[in-house]
Amino acid sequence: MRVTIWANGGHCVTEPGLTGSLAGLAIVLGLGAGAALLCRACARLRGRPPALPRRDPLTGCLTRTAFTATLADDLRRQPVTVCVLDLDHFESVNDTWGHATGDALLAAVGRCLRDRLGPGARIARLGSDAFWVALPGPARQANADRLEAARQAIGAVIPTPELPHVTRSASAGVIHVPAGTDPAEAIRAADLALALAKAQGRDQLEADAEAVHRAAAARARRPGPDGIRAGLDRDEFTYFVQPVRDLSTDRVLGVEALLRWVRPDGRILTPDQFLGDPALPGTRPIRPPLEMTRALAAMFADLPEPCFTAFNLSGRVLRSADTGTRLRALIETVDPARLVFEIVEDAGIEDDPAALPLLRDLRQAGARIALDDFGTGRSNLARLLTLPVDIVKFDRAFTVAATRPRARTILARQIAMAEDLGLDMIAEGLETEAQRALLLDLGLRSGQGYLLGTPAPATDWAARIAADRRPAPAAD
């Protein structure tokens, strides 16, 4: 109902709800001037925006705003253990089973966290598959143990009984902060810990405060996105290259393109100095202008004895929306037989439905696909089953350890397997003549490393290669 209050010659029409009830009470009690005050209060209430919801409608967890307010209140009074958690490869649930199944899995994860952590835990769901958790109190290790138990339990959560095989592991970052800590700083630290857990292979919890502080310090030293954009605008990014040589003849077979940032003060930064770990938050792929990439490939393809140019494809680059367009444009203007695309170890191709078709298209056009850092991390035997690979680049760890009998045996078996599969092979990290001799003895014919040539500007290496291949002047 609507209630009208007459006061001091004016009136106020209230809306149903609390303001109407208060106004009605004023009339019943005959508050007089108090009614006028209520009129003004009603007017202010009507002008307020509606209150933001405190609960996520899908999972029943707190919203970001409610969690942040609760965390701030807790931190004013006591230390808190803060956790940022998300599901590993959740996108593939939506892609394969549909968003309804993904929503059901998220709702089940929310219930799992509440059941495992109890009523004292503050649990929020952010966008997509990320959750925040705060456990107030000084029990640092006990809180970390509770969070680890909850994280492990998530791996058994299913969206519906009809889909018992649709499960996802979880990665988590945990930080324990003292009372008085800024809530935003606590969340940033936990988010950085989560990134470290992902960088170490996912499906784990990272709670090492020292590791988090080191990562935070390294991130603080790196130029931010604005500085990188300014560097691109000023053409400060360029390609250096490192040669790949025939181990018997020293002939340069090709070069690997390595992005460098030449700063105005003369410093030359490698990607790990301006991007850091690709898994850390804030890290974005650098996409040099297509013309610069095309010019580099053409420089070596047009030599009297052409060389290939190899470009690295990281997971973030492969997931960029315009990568396919850029690579297809590149092979339209440069002989694809002179192009190699290296899948680096971190590239999560298995979780990207567009990546595998793109690699197949590039290979069908005549380019070659290399598996970088073979024998470590994701760059393993399983990828030879699924990816259209032409070249394996044995990780430098095998080159360095090849003098040991066990490592030499492993490398010999890998070489024999690659030969049986018809794959070309390149050994990375050559630093000594003894390593070269040993690799040749094992049957490896191509290599890359400081022994064979250090990274240098592309024009320098193009001139050196051209000079090496120029016919000697005829004798008088």
Residue holding tokens 């209140």? 73
Give the pLDDT of residue 38: 47
Sign of the CA dihedral running 225, 173, 114, 138? negative
In the prediction, which pLDDT does 213 show? 76
Amino acid sitting at position 240 = F
Name the band, by pLDDT with cuts 50, 70 and 90, for residue 192: confident
- Note whether 421 and 381 are within 8 A (CB): no
Q: What is the pLDDT of residue 349?
A: 63
Higher model confidence: residue 467 or residue 353? 467
Return the structure tokens found at 116: 């495992």
Radius of gyration of the chain (CA): 30
Edge-to-edge, what's the strand order for the sheet holding 122-125? Answer: 122-125, 130-136, 80-87, 170-177, 205-206
Distance CA 128, CA 292 (A): 37
pLDDT of 2 higher than 50? no
Check the CA dihedral 427-430-433-435 and report its sign: negative
Q: In terms of pLDDT, which residue wins out, 215 or 162?
A: 162
Could you report the per-residue pLDDT of 379-403, keeping only the tens digit for each?
Answer: 467 778 878 899 999 988 888 888 8
Task: Give yes or no for residue 346 having a pLDDT over 90.
Answer: no
Distances from the Cα of 158 to the Cαs of 6, 11, 154, in angstroms?
Answer: 60, 58, 9
The count of C-alpha atoms lying within 13 angstroms of the C-alpha of 292, restricted to the half-sphere facing its C-beta, is 17
Residues 109-124: pLDDT tens digits?
A: 999 999 999 989 999 9
For the chain, percent of residues with pLDDT exceeding 70: 80
CA proximity to 202, closest of 349, 377, 385: 377
* DSSP 8-state class, residue 258: E
Instruction: State residue 351's pLDDT score.
Output: 56
For position 100, what pLDDT does the model report? 92
pLDDT classification of 276: cutoffs 50, 70, 90? low
CA atoms within 13 A on the CB side of 179: 8
Q: What is the pLDDT of residue 157?
A: 94
Q: Is the pLDDT of residue 441 over 90?
A: yes
pLDDT at position 428 is 94
pLDDT of residue 27: 39
DSSP 308: E
Confidence at residue 8, expressed as pLDDT on a 0 to 100 scale:
34
What pLDDT does 35 receive? Answer: 43
Residue 412: predicted pLDDT: 92
7-28 pLDDT, tens digit each: 333 334 444 444 444 444 443 3
> Is a pLDDT exceeding 50 seen at residue 209?
yes
Residue that the structure tokens 């197949």 belong to = 360
Segment 196-213 mean pLDDT: 84
pLDDT of residue 290: 85
Pairing of strands 3-7, 268-269: unpaired
Interatomic CA distance for residues 340 and 333, integer angstroms: 15
pLDDT at residue 220 in the model:
61
Beta strand 339-343 with 308-313 is parallel
CA distance 24 to 5: 8
Per-residue pLDDT tens for 293-313? 999 999 999 998 889 999 998
How many angstroms separate the CA atoms of 58 and 315, rounded?
Answer: 30
Q: Looking at 49-63, 232-246, 426-440, which range is the least confident one?
A: 49-63
406-430 average pLDDT score: 92
Region of poorest pLDDT, from 89-103, 226-240, 444-458: 226-240
What pLDDT score was predicted for residue 289? 81
What distance in Å separates the CA atoms of residue 71 and residue 144, rounded to the nearest whole number? Answer: 17
- Per-residue pLDDT for 283 more than 60? no
- Of 318 and 463, the structure prediction assigns the larger pLDDT to 463
Q: Is this model's pTM higher than 0.75 or not?
A: no
| Of 275, 266, 281, residue with least CA distance to 221 | 275
The per-residue pLDDT for 430 is 94
For 197-250, the DSSP string reads: HHHTTSSSEE--HHHHHHHHHHHHHS--HHHHHHHHHTT-EEEEEEEEEETTT-
Mean pLDDT to the nearest integer, 29-41: 45
What local confidence, expressed as pLDDT, does residue 32 receive? Answer: 42
Q: Vertex 185, ends 179 and 186: CA angle to 5°?
A: 55
Q: Are 212 and 264 in contact (CB under 8 A)?
A: no
Question: What tokens does 275 get?
Answer: 């991007």
* pLDDT reading at 469 higher than 50: yes
Q: At 78, is the secondary structure helix, strand, or coil?
A: coil
